[in-house]
Amino acid sequence: MTRLALIGYGKMGKMIESMAATMDCAVVSIIDPNHPGAHPVIDAASVADADVCIDFSHPSVVMDNIKALLELKKNIVVGTTGWNQHLDGVREMVDQTGTGFLWGANFSLGMNLFGRVVEYAAELIDRFESYDSYGFEMHHRQKADSPSGTAIELAQRVLKHSSRKDTAVYDKLDRRPEQNELHFASIRGGFVPGTHTIGFDSEADTIELVHRIRSRSALASGAIMAARWINGKRGFYTFSEMISEIIC
C-alpha cells in the first residue's frame, strides 16, 4: 500500500482522499495552512510517514512546496498548474536530490489519450493546405490560471505536427492572426470542470475534436495512479511518459 501526503486540501485533495483506499493507497498526512486540523507547513514531521506527496495547491505556492519536499527527499506528484517556466530548474533539483518526481498538466487518462488523437489528426490534416487549425478551452470561474496547462500542452502537440504553424497565441487578438500562429482561446465561468476543443477548418467543412471532463474523479484517479507508479522510482517524469510506458 502506498502512503500519501496531500499538499493542499481543496476540492482535488478531498476527492483524492475519498478515492485513495479503493486504489490501494492510504492518506497519512494532510498539509494545508487554511484547513483546521491539517498540518500548517511542510516539514520532516508532517511528511515523515508518506511514501509520496501529491500537490494540488496553488500556483503561488507550488514552487515553495516542491523545494521543501525535495529537500526532505520525498517523491512527489504535482497536479498544480501555472508553473511551467520552472520545469528545467525543478528537473535539476530532482537530479541533485535523487528523488522521484512526476507532474502533469492534466491527470485524466482520457485527456492523455485525447492528446495522442490530436497529434495524429494534426499530422494527417497538415498534408492539406486548405485547413486552418485553432483551439479553445473552458473551465470554472475559480480556476487560478489561464490558459490552462492542458491548453498549452495541446497547442504544443498541434505545433509539433504542423508545417505551417510554429507559434501558439493565447491572448486576446485585436488583429488578424498570422499564418504561422495557432490561436488558442480560454473561457472562464460557471462550474465547468474542463472542456478542450481542437479544430481544423476549411471553406468546405469543420473537423472538431473535443474532450470533456464530467467529474474531478477522473483527475483524482490519475493522480493516485501516478503516486503508485512513482513510489520507489528516481528521476523526473511526466504523466504522459507514464501512460506511454503502460501502453507499451
> Which residues are tagged catalytic?
139, 143
Pairing of strands 132-139, 195-201: antiparallel
- The Cα-based distances of 205 to 131, 153, 154, 211 in angstroms read 9, 26, 22, 20
- DSSP reduced 3-state for 120: helix
Cell of 23: 486504489
The DSSP 8-state label assigned to residue 177 in this structure reads P
CA proximity to 106, closest of 96, 119, 115? 115
Alpha helices by DSSP H, the chain: 11-20, 62-71, 87-97, 109-125, 149-160, 217-230, 239-247
